[in-house]
């Protein structure tokens, strides 16, 4: 598949049968790596100060995209991690059954797909979402929001857009 190289770090904090990252791994769409290997990648991390935007596309294409697969209930155990290319996603609405409607509390697959959609890799994002029962609803729910983010030229614009959308 054309697109970014996708990876995840499994912190073994969730039920493996319900892990959306493992589901994508079984489908051959994402690769599991150890923490040290993702240091040179763009890492999706909710506690990051920097916000992912369309301006990160070249960086993602060059370095790859990695998500930290851990439990939101145990976020304190990994929120202190720091990555050179760490990015948080701007506000998106999850549709996964566990955190439906709780802005920002995305599953790993939603985070990956959201990142790909923001940087303009729609076909790759839709391939990820097609593997989940509720995947198409994530796109439907967030499409207007993603369209706003995709038009942003820099981090300041993303932050303004996020504030306007979710204040």
pLDDT in tens, 34-84: 888 888 999 998 889 999 999 999 999 999 999 988 665 555 555 567 788
**Nearest in space to 8 (alpha carbons), one of 101, 106, 93, 92:** 106
Average pLDDT score over the chain: 90
Query: CA 4, 101, 92 angle in degrees (round to 5)?
Result: 35
Q: Looking at the whole model, is its pTM more than 0.85?
A: yes
Tell me the backbone φ, ψ of residue 111, rounded to 5 degrees: -65, -45
Give the number of other CB atoms < 10 A from CB of residue 11: 14
pLDDT band at 2 (very low <50, low <70, confident <90, very high): confident
- Average of per-residue pLDDT across 139-165: 97
Lowest mean pLDDT among 29-33, 43-47, 59-63, 146-150: 43-47
Give the number of other CB atoms < 10 A from CB of residue 113: 31
Give the whole-angstrom CA distance, residue 7 versus residue 66: 4
């Amino acid at each position: 598949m054309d697109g970014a190289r996708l990876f995840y770090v499994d912190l073994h904090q969730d039920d493996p049968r319900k892990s959306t990252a493992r589901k994508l791994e079984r489908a051959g769409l994402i690769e599991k790596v150890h923490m040290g290997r993702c240091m040179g990648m763009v890492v999706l991390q909710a506690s990051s100060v920097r916000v992912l935007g369309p301006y990160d596309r070249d960086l993602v294409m060059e370095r790859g995209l990695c998500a930290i697969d851990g439990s939101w209930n145990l976020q304190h155990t990994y929120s202190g991690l720091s990555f050179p290319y760490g990015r948080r996603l701007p506000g998106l609405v999850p549709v996964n059954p566990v955190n439906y409607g709780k802005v920002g509390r995305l599953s790993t697959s939603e985070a990956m797909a959201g990142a790909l959609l923001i940087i303009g890799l729609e076909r790759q994002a839709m391939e990820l979402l097609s593997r989940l029962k509720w995947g198409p609803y994530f796109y439907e729910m967030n499409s207007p929001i993603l369209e706003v983010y995709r038009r942003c030229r820099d981090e300041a614009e993303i932050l303004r857009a996020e504030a306007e959308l979710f204040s």
